[in-house]
Structure 1
Amino acid sequence: MGHTHHNHSHSHPDVKGRNLIISILLNILITVSQVIGGLVSGSLALLSDALHNFSDVMSLVISYIANVLSKKEASTNKTFGYKRAEIIAAFVNSATLIVVAIILIKEAVERFLTPQEIESDLVIWLSLLGIAANGFSVFLLKGTTSNNMNMKSAYLHLLTDMMASIAVLVGGLLMKFYQVYWVDTALTLAIALYLIYMGYDLLKNSTRVLMLFTPHTIQVQKIVEAIKRIRHIRNVHHVHIWQLNDSEVHLEAHIDFKEDIKLSEFDIILEQIEEEMYHEYGINHVNIQPEFGKCDSKNVIVQD
């Protein structure tokens, strides 16, 4: 059996952890301020923004814990370590985006049926606080989102909240100068729909990873054909391709050889497969079971 992997990770966990802590503290400040301001002013948009900020605090805490766990080493009873911790965090965070959005829609409908006058000055000043704090947090996390679903989920929470604060600011100005109070409800609905839009794609991608689905950028049949073109190989079957986390894609397969080759010859072929899989398909962890004349299923996909 052959087994190898390429590891080309260039993450900076200490920077990520520090930036997450700063963002958590800023969002706690925003949440407390907006809850008080929303209750005093009567602004549903401000309260909805506070609710979203509270979900930000929770998501950032989850992201921070996942970031810490992902650095823990593997052991005999955790042979993959905690490499999936950040994927689970991305799934939870994207799901909470959608749950918060549904709650906001419900609150907006109720407020539309029973409109209230709103203290716009407080709404304006607190929305400016939200824009400043979330904007700074977005700036801190932006550089850590590349190829990391966990950090991307935290970043999306903060980005959507910054945009929500901008929407609340616009609404506050319209209410102050034109007394258009229904805009508060309209903005709440707009924020909620945007949360669903942003959360769905990340929820779908993290679910694919957790379910061990083949990455959508990889076509199994093309990989089978590429391996079969190598000399001495008769058949490729029992194929599994899955994504462990943001940086690892695994290939597992059985390979039938036309001849009873030496182990040293298999090592040369295995290295050829590894290089092609990594450079052509981004697969950095290859596990091959060599076979000669073995009587088993030769189907490409076999249900274990």
Structure 2
Amino acid sequence: MHSHRVNGIRFFWVTMLNILITIAEILGGVFSGSLALLSDAFHNLGDSASILMGYFAQVIGSRPETERRTYGYRRAEILSAFLNSLFLIVVSIFLMVEAVRRLFHPQPVDGKLMLIVAVIGFIANLASALLLQQGSKDSLNIKATYLHILSDALSSIGVIIGALVITFWNIYWLDPVLTILVAIYICYEICPVIHQTLSILMQSSPHLDFDQIKTDITQIEGVIGVHHVHAWMIDEHRIIFSAHINLSDRPLSSVEPIYRQVETLLKEKYHVCHITIQAEVDRGIEEPLFNTPVDKAATSDNID
């Protein structure tokens, strides 16, 4: 309990630091004329939103299951990550378009002001990373935020170098080039998150060796076949699995030990957290592991 309270306090200060960085970089970008600072500001704004949304989504996701939410609220964190990622992609595209325009029409940049603000951003990002470093060892959520903020500190180094070059050599076209590089970096970092969150929201199957799962289950004494398999994810950690298994005709009391063996196998070897097994004798024994469109059509005809 104490660990969660410390992490909450650290998240609060990290959020405050990111908001201060964002305000400083927006003002610095406007008054210095640096688009690179503005791009970094929006990146930090995205981080602040991500931290806040992630924290509240985590609070919502920890709520217990209800009659209307039988799997709980764990998808709140996934939805939060997806929306935040989309926001960063839109902002990145806008900044790249503006940067390309500035490449053809360079504008003077106050390198000294740009340098001061970039140094402030670097120090604040580094402080944020240090605040979360300890908690990152115990929580994957905090670890992801820690690595993200650490990457922000590294991108600030690029802006600092650009500010030094502009200050001493007046190479103004470097500012939009840095903006494009930062925007590309953000997209590179965010696209896998969008892909993963979309896969979870669309209930795509997790990366499991289903053929091996079938082999392992049918090696359990009494199991003749496996079919009608479904697997999906509630969030990035929790896998849901359901299947029909064919058994020899036997009393229900002798089926329960087989259920426990199947559950133990799936939990320990494949890290499945929620398992639903339906036992059958001959029904579906010739069916494939997954229902094909033909199977579904046939089933629909039988119902009609």
TM-score, normalising length from structure 2? 0.87
Q: 2:89 maps to which residue?
A: 98
Match of 1:127 among 118, 125, 138: 118
Residue equivalent to 2:17? 26
Kindly provide the CA deviation profile for residues 89-133 of structure 1, in whole angstroms up to 9, marking residues without a partner as x. 222223233222212211111111211111111111111111111
Q: What are the equivalent positions in structure 2 for 1:206-221 lying under 5 Å apart? A: 206-216=197-207, 218-221=208-211
Instruction: Tell me the secondary structure at the aligned position of residue 93 of structure 2.
Output: helix
Partner Cα separation in structure 1 for residue 95 and residue 177 of structure 2: 11
Contact 1:254 1:289 in 2 (8 A): yes
Q: 1:114 aligns with which of 98, 102, 105?
A: 105
The aligned residue for residue 283 of structure 1 is 272
Q: Deviations along 1:191-249, whole A, 9 cap, x unmatched?
A: 01111111111211122221111212x12121112111222212111101112123311
Q: Once the two structures are superposed, what CA deviation does each residue of 1:224-282 show, in whole Å capped at 9, x if it has no partner?
A: 1211122221211110111212331121001111x222223212111211222122211
Give the gaps of 5 or more residues in structure 2.
Answer: 297-304
Deviation at 1:188, TM superposition (A): 0.7
* Shift, 1:42, TM fit: 1.0
Q: 1:282 to 1:273 in 2, by over 3 A?
A: same
Amino acid in structure 2 at the alignment position of 1:36: L
Which amino acid counterpart does residue 58 of structure 2 have in structure 1?
N
Q: Is the 8 A contact 1:145 1:155 kept in 2?
A: no
Q: Give the CA deviation at 1:49.
A: 1.5
Structure richer in helix, relative to its length: 2
Matched, 1:253 2:243: yes
Further displaced range: 51-60 or 174-183: 51-60
C-alpha offsets along residues 277-301 of structure 1, whole Å, 9 cap, x if unaligned? 1222111221100112336872211
- CA distance in structure 2 between the aligned counterparts of 1:200 and 1:295, rounded to whole angstroms: 40
The residue that corresponds to 2:283 in the other structure is: 294
- Structure 1 stretch 248-257 or stretch 90-99: which is displaced more? 90-99
Q: CA RMSD in A?
A: 2.4
**What is the distance in 2 between the residues matched to 1:16 and 1:208?**
29
**Aligned ranges 1:1-304 → 2 under 5 Å:** 13-142=4-133, 143-144=135-136, 148=140, 151=142, 154-155=145-146, 157-216=148-207, 218-257=208-247, 259-294=248-283, 298-302=287-291
SS at match of 2:255: helix
SS of structure 2 residue aligned to 1:290:
strand
- Structure 1 Cα separation of the partners of residues 209 and 3 of structure 2: 31
Q: Which of 1 and 2 has higher RCO (CA within 8 Å, sep 6+)?
A: 1
Q: Does the 8 Å CA contact 1:93/1:153 hold for their aligned counterparts? A: no
Count, aligned residues? 292
Which amino acid is the alignment partner of residue 230 of structure 2? H
Deviation at 1:27, TM superposition (A): 1.4
1:68–1:197 Cα change, 3 Å:
same
Residue of structure 2 in register with 1:6 after alignment: none
**Unmatched tracts of structure 1, length 5 or more:** 1-9
Percent sequence identity is: 36
CA separation in 2, counterparts of 1:93 and 1:139? 24
- Once structures 1 and 2 are overlaid, which stretch shifts more, 225-234 or 157-166? 157-166
Q: 1:13 to 1:250 in 2, by over 3 A?
A: farther
> CA 1:207 to 1:105, structure 2 compared with 1: closer, same or farther past 3 Å?
same
Q: Provide runs of 4+ in structure 1 moved above 6 Å.
A: none
Please give the TM-score of this superposition, normalised by the length of structure 1. Answer: 0.87
Query: Residues 90 and 153 of structure 1 are in contact (CA less than 8 Å); yes or no, is this contact kept in structure 2?
Result: no
Q: Please say if residues 43 and 186 of structure 2, whose CA atoms lie closer than 8 Å, have aligned partners that are also in contact.
A: no
Q: Deviations over 1:134-191 (max 9, x none)?
A: 222233345448774x656644653443233211111001111222221111111110
Task: Write the letter of the residue equivalent to 1:96.
Answer: F
Q: How many angstroms apart in 1 are the aligned matches of 2:150 and 2:188?
A: 13
For 1:244, give the aligned amino acid.
I
